[in-house]
């Protein structure tokens, strides 16, 4: 998995022979500055973008293969022992309202480099069936994290934040809530030179600007009812710019953006996950202490606990990759992977295209 935060590749080696699935090992391969900049640039129209996108996809495939080889070497496992690689690719455009989503990837090259069958292109079939193509992790969340007696909500805070509602009885729902780390990372990089705000320390040094927060929360996306999804196409630096004033201190804007993420998540849970008892957070946002504090504060006095998914046995940064391993297995078995109540698709679909490995 390489998500909208653009920090690199998260890979896991998973065993699905028992329930719940066992996460054997994990590996992270960071993006160098040049690749990260190119992937970010490809989120917008630009010169020669078709050729640049193809070349970036080849680079990504080599990063994915590097992560696979590192995992196999670490565990002394041969490629022949692996059923498949589930590879999401790097989202650069997400426009379900126009009938498409675009993830840069070269799964054929990855199959050649790794010698393992690759399952990729998970989102397009859901969109073809009238869905948003996102989020896709809720099916896995339901399979792995549901509890027979506790109403749980799984919140993934990557570049975008999304949630899965897991009631004890009733329908599983899920949707994108709004920006996760995306605006925080962009503002931090522009004003400090650091790719992200480590543990939210810079945001914690500032003060929330109430007028700015109120204006941001009025964005039409937050008023939409699910199913809904979003991405960099909406929540980007250009979107933020009209809300800013010269007198705003950069660290105060960062504090406000952190509250935007926390409050939009909390409001979505209050509006659509009535009766929730436990909130478990995955993705990079789970490692932002200031953000986790803000989430806990948003639920203070309501009897709702907030903790990383580590408490459920899966490290926060590994959940999304494990979800796409699960989706790859679903595809290989001819089983559906999307939840129409989540994505809005007309029917459940088998997701993903299969690229057979070389068997070497």
> Please, what sign has the CA dihedral across residues 116, 122, 124, 130?
positive
Answer CATH for 8-133+331-355 from 1.10.1040.10, 3.40.430.10, 3.30.420.40, 3.40.1260.10: 3.30.420.40
The yes-or-no verdict on residue 133 having pLDDT over 70 is: yes
Asked, colleague to colleague, whether 8-133+331-355 and 138-316 share their fold, the answer is: yes
Q: What is the DSSP string of 108-176?
A: HHHHHHH-S-EEE--SHHHHHTTS-----THHHHHHHH--SS--EEEEEESSEEEEEEE-SSS--EEEE
pLDDT given for residue 20 in this prediction: 79
Identify the helix (H) or strand (E) that includes residue 206.
none
- What is the spatial distance between Cα 182 and Cα 197, in angstroms, rounded to a whole number? 11
The percent of residues in the chain predicted with pLDDT above 90, rounded, is: 96
- What is the spatial distance between Cα 333 and Cα 221, in angstroms, rounded to a whole number? 36
pLDDT given for residue 259 in this prediction: 98
The yes-or-no verdict on residue 4 having pLDDT over 90 is: no
The yes-or-no verdict on residue 22 having pLDDT over 90 is: no
- 150-194 tens-digit pLDDT: 999 999 999 999 999 999 999 999 999 999 999 999 999 999 999
- What is the spatial distance between Cα 61 and Cα 37, in angstroms, rounded to a whole number? 17
The tokens describing 32, both together, are: 């160098």
- What is the spatial distance between Cα 335 and Cα 162, in angstroms, rounded to a whole number? 24
pLDDT average, residue stretch 198-206: 98
- What is the spatial distance between Cα 135 and Cα 231, in angstroms, rounded to a whole number? 11
241: three-class secondary structure by DSSP: helix
- 241-282 tens-digit pLDDT: 999 999 999 999 999 999 999 999 999 999 999 999 999 999
CB burial of 49-77 (b: ≥16 within 10 Å; e: otherwise) equals eeeebeebbebbbebbbbbbeebbeeeee
1: three-class secondary structure by DSSP: coil
Which long-range CB contacts under 8 A does 195-200 form with residues at least 24 apart?
A: 195/7, 195/36, 196/5, 196/7, 196/284, 197/254, 197/288, 197/290, 199/287, 199/288, 199/289, 199/290, 200/258, 200/288, 200/289, 200/290, 200/291, 200/293
Nearest 5 degrees, angle CA 288-CA 320-CA 191?
35
The yes-or-no verdict on residue 74 having pLDDT over 80 is: yes
Domain locations in the chain? 8-133+331-355, 138-316
Q: Please give the sequence-ordered ranges of beta strands (E in DSSP) within the chain, or none if there are none.
A: 8-15, 22-30, 85-86, 90-95, 100-104, 118-120, 152-157, 160-166, 173-179, 278-282, 305-308, 353-355
State the helix-helix crossing angle for 289-298 and 250-272, rounded to 10 degrees: 40
- Neighbouring C-beta atoms of residue 4, cutoff 10 Å: 23
- Select from 78, 102, 107, 83 the least CA-distant residue to 92: 102
The percent of residues in the chain predicted with pLDDT above 70, rounded, is: 99
pLDDT average, residue stretch 333-357: 97
- pLDDT confidence of 295, banded at 50, 70, 90? very high
138-316 is a CATH 3.30.70.120 domain: no
- What is the spatial distance between Cα 185 and Cα 291, in angstroms, rounded to a whole number? 13
pLDDT given for residue 21 in this prediction: 84
The tokens describing 51, both together, are: 């050729």
Q: 213 φ, ψ to 5°?
A: -60, -45
């Amino acid at each position: 998995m390489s998500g909208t935060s653009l920090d690199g590749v998260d890979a896991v080696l998973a065993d699905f022979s028992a329930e719940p699935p066992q996460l054997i090992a994990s590996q992270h391969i960071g993006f160098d500055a040049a690749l990260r900049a190119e992937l970010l640039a490809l989120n917008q129209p630009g010169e020669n973008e078709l050729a640049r996108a193809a070349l970036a996809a080849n680079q990504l495939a080599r990063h994915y293969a590097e992560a696979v080889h590192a995992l196999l070497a670490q565990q002394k496992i041969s490629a022949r022992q692996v059923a498949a690689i589930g590879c999401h690719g790097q989202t650069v455009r997400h426009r379900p309202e126009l009938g498409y989503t675009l993830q840069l990837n070269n799964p054929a090259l990855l199959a050649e480099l790794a010698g393992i069958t690759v399952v990729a292109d998970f989102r397009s079939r859901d969109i073809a069936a009238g869905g948003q193509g996102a989020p896709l992790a809720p099916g896995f969340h339901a399979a792995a994290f549901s509890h027979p007696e506790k109403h749980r909500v799984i919140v993934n805070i990557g570049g975008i934040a999304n949630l899965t509602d897991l009631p004890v009885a009733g329908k599983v729902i899920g949707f994108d809530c709004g920006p996760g780390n995306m605006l925080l990372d962009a503002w931090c990089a522009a004003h400090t030179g650091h790719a992200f705000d480590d543990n939210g320390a810079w945001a914690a040094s500032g003060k929330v600007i109430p007028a700015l927060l109120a204006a941001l929360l009025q964005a039409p996306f937050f008023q939409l009812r699910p199913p809904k999804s979003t991405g960099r196409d909406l929540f980007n630096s250009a979107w933020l710019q009209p809300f800013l004033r010269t007198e705003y201190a950069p660290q105060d804007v960062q504090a406000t953006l952190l509250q935007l993420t926390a409050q939009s998540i909390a409001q979505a849970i209050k509006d659509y996950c009535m009766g929730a008892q436990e909130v478990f957070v995955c993705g990079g946002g789970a490692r932002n202490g200031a953000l986790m504090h803000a989430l806990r504060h948003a639920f203070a006095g309501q009897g709702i606990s907030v903790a990383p998914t580590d408490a459920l046995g899966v490290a926060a940064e590994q959940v999304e990759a494990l979800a796409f391993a699960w989706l790859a297995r679903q595809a290989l078995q001819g089983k559906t992977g999307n939840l129409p109540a989540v994505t809005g698709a007309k029917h459940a679909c088998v997701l993903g295209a299969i690229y057979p490995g070389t068997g070497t």
